[in-house]
Every structure is written in structure tokens, then in C-alpha cells.
Structure 1
Amino acid sequence: MEHTLVFQSIMSIFIMILIGAILSRTFPFNEDTRRVFISLIVNVAMPCIILSSIFNVKMEENTFGIITAVFWISIFINLIGIFIGWLLAHNYYKGGNKTKEIALLSGIGNTGFIGIPLCAILLGPEGALFAAIFDAGVDFTIWTAGVLLLQQKKQFTYHSLKSMINVPTLSIIIGLVFAYFHVTPPIIIINLTNQLAALAAPVAMFYIGVLLMTLPSAKVQKLGSQALLPIGVKLIILPVVTVLAMHYVPLEIEVKQTIIIQSMMPTLTLASILFAKYAADEDFGAVTTILSTLIALFSIPIMIYLINIFYAI
């Protein structure tokens, strides 16, 4: 069952990328169209994904405590992946100019579009709940540590803090406040966030498809070879580290299983959007996303099989 779901989710991604590639023939891809894509995803779709995940959480007596733990563990795992990627890139590509991109691609995964439905199938509604919270931790890492890392000036200044106060970050804060005080928004707001959240994956994949059609094949091959480092960290090293770390965390087995599964997701689909917004190499992000997702078609089932040694899934 899990193998079928992984295959279907990843094939959906590639079909949407193909649609984007076809759409690229119907309009000029310039700075204006690029800004429309980025603004729509960052300021509308991403915040709605965050709010939709939190609004659909059913709170019980000890649920918020577990949610808080999963949220912080998610951030910690993401930061470990980023650090491992940065360390390897700094040593392997000495003098290279992609260290920050490799670091982020090594630690941030596609925990929303692939991870949440996979956990729902394998672990049921409880798995989907904690997978959504893990995804919120990923979002928080992206729009705080990720933004800080991508800044041209590395000093923590007022401008750096202002960059981290963005729409997705504010959405996380608002959503968690609602959850903590058990506030349920009107049904029209819940439905609206659910509908707008569905925009994120398709529009991001369309953007990647359009972007790839503008890249020379020689550049794709060059970037593909450089992408092997972050892909190796994200799909192999980070899941192994997570499995070992979960032995020392006092959580229920279902929560541990969710965290482990989420740690093995392929590279973030929004990588090229994030890089474009902060003047990094968006082409590298797009190529890495596609290769990582393709390899994940084989790596996720293998990793799930191997971690049965430690945890029954």
C-alpha cells in the first residue's frame, strides 16, 4: 500500500511539472510572470497550507503537548540536515558558491505534498495530524533559519529580523495561538484555507516546469551532478540520524514513526521559489527537486523497509 502511494504521489508531481513545461509555450516567462508565481505561492498558498493543517487538528487533553514536541523536534531535525549539508558542502566544494543552497536542500523536505498523505495511509488520522505539525515545523525553519541563511549579509540585523517576519511565519504563529486557546474559526475560513492550500503544490510544480524549459541541457547536467550531495544527505543520512535519535526521545511509537517517515521525504518542492525570492540559484533548486523526487520513488520504500528493524511500520 505504501509503495503504491509513494509512486502515485511522485508521479503526480512529475505530471504537474510536465504541465508547467507545456504551459511555458503559451506565455512569455519574464521577471513579471516570475514574480506572480512567487507572490502567489509565498503570500497565499503557503500560509493557507499552514493554517489549514492547524485548523483541522482536533485537540484532546494532551494533544497540544505532543504537538509542541513534534513541532520543536521537526525544527531540530531540519537544522541538523542543514548543518550536515553545509559542513559537507563547505569541505567538498571548497570555494564553491552553492554552500547555502546545498545546506537548505539537505535539510528541508517535501513533508506536505508527499509526507502528510503517506503518513495518513500508513498511520491513520493520528499520523496525518502529527505529519501536519511536523510540516509546520519545516515551514517555520524555512521562513526563519532558511531566510537568514540566504541573506547576502550574514549579520543578524533589524533587516534580517524583518525578513523573517513574513506571511508564512505569521501564519504559523496565528495558527498555534488558535490551537492553544481551542479557538475554531468560522467554517467559511476553514473551507477557504483548505481550497487555497491546494494551490501550493500545483503552482510550484508548474513554476518548476516552466523554469526548466528555459535552462540549457548542459546546465541541467552540471547542476544535476552538484545535486547529488544534498540528495544523499536528505534521503539517506538524515533519516538514519533521525532513526537513531528517536531511540532517546520519550514519545509514543506512532509519533516516532511519523517523525521518521517525514525525515526521509525528498527535497522541498518550493526550493526554487525560495531561492528566487532571496536571489539564490533557483535553477539549482529546481533541478535538485526533480532529481530528489525521482530518487525518492526508490529510496522511501527501501528506507521504510530498513527502519522496520527498529520500529514496526
Structure 2
Amino acid sequence: MQLSTVFNSITLIGMMIVIGVALARVTPINESTKKTYTLLIVNVAMPCIILSSIFKVNIDQSMLRNIGIVLILSVVINTIGIGIGWVFASSFSGNRRLRQEIALLSGLGNTGFIGIPLCAAILGPEGALYAAIFDAGVDIVIWTVGVMILKNSYAFSIVNIKSLINIPIVAIIVGLLCTFINYRPPEIFIDLSNQLAALASPLAMFYIGLLIMSKSENKSAIKTTNVNIFSPIFSKLVVLPIITLFIISILPIQMDVMINKVLLIQAMMPSLTLASILFTKYSKDEVFGAFATVMSTIISLVTIPSLILIFIKFKYM
């Protein structure tokens, strides 16, 4: 992995976030604005980056095996991250009130908005495909383990299963199905998916910038900056990547180097952008969730390249 590519990608992400902040200063920020960005990113740009990656990669039996490995390890890694956050929150009396929020913020990362575009920039189409599969694992954990924790109910339901059906997941299924039956769509469709895929990174970073600006102006959010906020941030940005490295090192199977890189990069992602929306839905502290997401995103601009540099130096990536 070229260090220059890593730092260029992180620098571009930072610059696009700054543009998002600037846009927020001249454009009214409301729920309609956020909803428009989210719809474009989740329902247009993200599916296209997934399809574009699938059409650019020659998927064989070995890659299908790798896809299965990434999906399983994604579920395992994210669930372990939630467990780490739960332990951290339970260890300090001041954190127990926010135990559920801290647990989810510690384990669930922004693997879609930031992770997939970053892996595409650093690792190419194959990396983007594995990153999308990892993100599908995050969705599985969100709507099963995550919802159970937020509802204090530990039983599966049809509603949770239905929540797993979204356009990015459908894009993965359709793309892989096309590969199975050896069908290649018309070139105009492939060109369209390639061009719309290019929107994913800018739109996602602009949205993060808007979120940062909107929360920085929220005085009640700023008041939550205390010891509680640093527990999930430290767990997500530092502890989970190290745990992921340990998991990779003890696995009894030999994995493709590309898989190792994707798993480590996705484990480094800041806390889930949609956390505050989830917390609102289940009557949890959405202000804490939003501010933790913003703070972890800003800090991750330093921790991601730093961890990648360390892992490359010791030949883990």
C-alpha cells in the first residue's frame, strides 16, 4: 500500500469535509437538507459504487469465498466492538446511563459513507467491493444486535429482518447475481454507474461537514463534551482496530492480503453517522450520539492515517 495514496485520500476527505462546513455556513441546515443528502448517498451513490466495483472486478470462486469471509468477520468484529463499548461503559458509574449508546458507538462505524469511498480510493474496485460487503455486515449487526440493545429486547422479529432490506444490499445481491449468471449490463448502464459512483465520496463528506456545522452550533450538544464522549471514541478509533488486527493474526485460515487491508481500514472508521437517527427512533440520547459521531469523525482524520502508517511499518498491511 502506497503511503502517498493513503495521505492523499485522507487529505481529500478532510478538504471535502471543510467544503461541507463552508456550505453549511451559506446554506440553511434543516431536516429536509439532511434527508436529501442521505437519500442521494444511500439510494443513488452507494449502490452505484457497489455495482461499479462489481463490474470492474473479475469475480471467481476464490473471490466468492473471500466475500463470505469478509461478511462473517464484519459481523464478528462489529459485535465485539459493541461488547467492548458495553464493558467500558459498565466499568464507570458515570457512563452507565449511556451504556447502550456508548456500546453501539464503540462498535458500529461509518463504513458506508466514509469506508467504501476510502477503500475505493486506496485499494481500487476490489477493495471497494469488500468494503461494501463489510458494510452489509454492519447493517446486519445494526438491525439485529443493535436494535435488541436499544429496545432491551433480545428476540428476533420480522420487522428487524425487513429492516435489512435496503437499496445498497439489493445492489450487492443484483451485482453478484449478474456475476453468477455471467451477465454484463449494457455499457451505457455501466458508464452511468461509474459516474454516479463518483458522487459517493463528495456527497458523503459534504454531509459530514453539514453535520459538524449543525452540531457545533448546538449548545446543548457542546455541553455533553465530557468523559462520556471519549469512551466510545477511544474504543472505536483505537481499541477496535487493534482487536481486529489480533483477530486477523489468530485466524486459522490464510486470508488474501486485500481482505486484511479492508478489515483494518473499515475497523478504523469513526462512529456511525446514522447513530443519532437510531437513538431518536428508540428514545435514546440522540444529542450524545450526534456529537460523538462528529467528534470521532474529526479525530479520525488523524487516527486513520496514523494507524495505517503504524500497520504498514510493522508489515501488517
Answer yes or no: same fold by TM over 0.5.
Answer: yes
Aligned letter for 2:78? Answer: N
Number of the residue aligned with 2:283: none
In structure 1, list runs of 5 or more residues that go unmatched.
Answer: 121-127
| Counterparts in 2 of 1:302 and 1:227: CA distance versus 1, 3 Å | farther
Number of the residue aligned with 2:42: 42
Measured in 1, the distance between the counterparts of 2:278 and 2:48 equals: 19
Q: How many residues align?
A: 299
| Counterparts in 2 of 1:63 and 1:21: CA distance versus 1, 3 Å | closer
Measured in 1, the distance between the counterparts of 2:292 and 2:236 equals: 15
Measured in 1, the distance between the counterparts of 2:3 and 2:75 equals: 27
Measured in 2, the distance between the counterparts of 1:104 and 1:261 equals: 17
User: How far apart are residue 140 of structure 1 and its match?
Assistant: 0.8
Number of the residue aligned with 1:265: 268
1:138-149 alignment runs, 5 A limit:
138-148=134-144, 149=146
Number of the residue aligned with 2:299: 291
Measured in 2, the distance between the counterparts of 1:169 and 1:227 equals: 31
User: How far apart are residue 226 of structure 1 and its match?
Assistant: 4.1
| Counterparts in 2 of 1:249 and 1:183: CA distance versus 1, 3 Å | farther
Aligned letter for 1:243? Answer: L
User: How far apart are residue 58 of structure 1 and its match?
Assistant: 0.8
User: How far apart are residue 19 of structure 1 and its match?
Assistant: 0.9
Number of the residue aligned with 2:156: 156
Measured in 2, the distance between the counterparts of 1:48 and 1:83 equals: 33
- Structure 1 contact 47–168 (Cα < 8 Å) conserved: yes
Measured in 2, the distance between the counterparts of 1:198 and 1:162 equals: 29
1:1-313 alignment runs, 5 A limit:
2-60=2-60, 62-92=62-92, 94-97=95-98, 99-100=100-101, 102-108=103-109, 109=111, 110-120=114-124, 129=126, 131-148=127-144, 149-150=146-147, 153=151, 154=153, 155-214=155-214, 215-216=216-217, 219-220=221-222, 222-223=224-225, 226-247=228-249, 248-252=251-255, 254-255=257-258, 257-259=260-262, 261-267=264-270, 271-273=272-274, 275-276=276-277, 279=280, 280=286, 281-306=289-314, 308=315, 311=316, 313=317
- Structure 1 contact 49–194 (Cα < 8 Å) conserved: yes
SS of 1:68's partner is helix
Q: Deviations over 1:250-309 (max 9, x none)?
A: 2255345434543553326xx324543663433332222121223223232123223x2x
User: How far apart are residue 220 of structure 1 and its match?
Assistant: 4.3
Measured in 2, the distance between the counterparts of 1:144 and 1:252 equals: 23
- Structure 2 contact 108–138 (Cα < 8 Å) conserved: no
Identity of counterpart residues, as a percentage?
A: 32
Measured in 1, the distance between the counterparts of 2:226 and 2:170 equals: 35
In structure 2, list runs of 5 or more residues that go unmatched.
Answer: 281-285
Aligned letter for 2:309? Answer: P
User: How far apart are residue 135 of structure 1 and its match?
Assistant: 0.8
What stretches of structure 1 move > 6 A for 4+ residues in a row?
none
SS of 1:272's partner is coil
Q: Deviations over 1:115-144 (max 9, x none)?
A: 343335xxxxxxx51x23431222212322
- Structure 2 contact 233–292 (Cα < 8 Å) conserved: no
Q: Deviations over 1:58-94 (max 9, x none)?
A: 1345332233333333333333323323332343454
Measured in 2, the distance between the counterparts of 1:24 and 1:260 equals: 33
| Counterparts in 2 of 1:225 and 1:16: CA distance versus 1, 3 Å | farther
SS of 1:48's partner is helix
User: How far apart are residue 36 of structure 1 and its match?
Assistant: 1.1
SS of 1:156's partner is coil
User: How far apart are residue 206 of structure 1 and its match?
Assistant: 1.2
Aligned CA-pair RMSD: 3.0
